[in-house]
Amino acid sequence: MKTAIYRKSNFCSAHRLYRKEFSDEQNLAIFGKCSSPNYHGHNYTLIVKVVGETDPETGFVIDMKILAQLIKEHVEDKFDHKNLNLDTEYFKTLNPTAENIAKIIYEILRPKIDARFELGIRLYETEKNFVDYPA
């Protein structure tokens, strides 16, 4: 049987959800307060799940220190206290919704974690709103 391990982390980022071809009114109707033209912040909570066989020698699925470092270097350091639309390479043309941020985090981490492990990303944009990628 496989085991799932989880590493939780947090980052605070600004974003704006909008389509540039839409008016401010249309953006407000579709994206609500997240379309506010001057950006706003969220305190994101990220939970990275790794599923695999427990190594009989170490008793670990994956070394949590290594996983924590990967998340810090490749997610937190890129996203924390940044404007996702303006300061990152990922959301110049892609809306930084929770769905898209989770998918980008998956794509960043997937090649850095051995293919024998299953990887899952859960991202909370608020306490009540969160997404899983892949579903």
Rounded to whole angstroms, how far apart are CA atoms 45 and 37? 24
Among positions 7-46, residues that touch Ni ion (CB under 5 A) are 34
SS3 4: strand
If one asks whether residue 101 binds Ni ion (CB under 5 A), the answer comes out as no
If one asks whether residue 121 binds Ni ion (CB under 5 A), the answer comes out as no
If one asks whether residue 123 binds Ni ion (CB under 5 A), the answer comes out as no
CA 129 to chain centre: 13
Minimum CB–partner distance for residue 134 and Ni ion (Å): 23
Q: Is 34 a catalytic residue?
A: yes
Residue ranges in the chain assigned as alpha helix (H): 24-31, 64-71, 77-79, 84-87, 98-109
Minimum CB–partner distance for residue 1 and Ni ion (Å): 39
134 upstream amide cis, omega within 30 of 0? yes
Q: Which of 81, 89, 99, 127 is catalytic?
A: 81
Least Cα distance to 120 among 128, 9, 89, 131 occurs for 131
Q: Is 125 a catalytic residue?
A: yes
Contact 13, 82 (CB under 8 A): yes
Name the residue number minimizing CB distance to Ni ion.
34
Minimum CB–partner distance for residue 95 and Ni ion (Å): 10
C-beta of 119 vs 125, nearer to Ni ion: 125
Q: Is 89 a catalytic residue?
A: no
**What are the catalytic residues?**
34, 81, 125
Q: Which residues bind Ni ion (CB under 5 A)?
A: 34
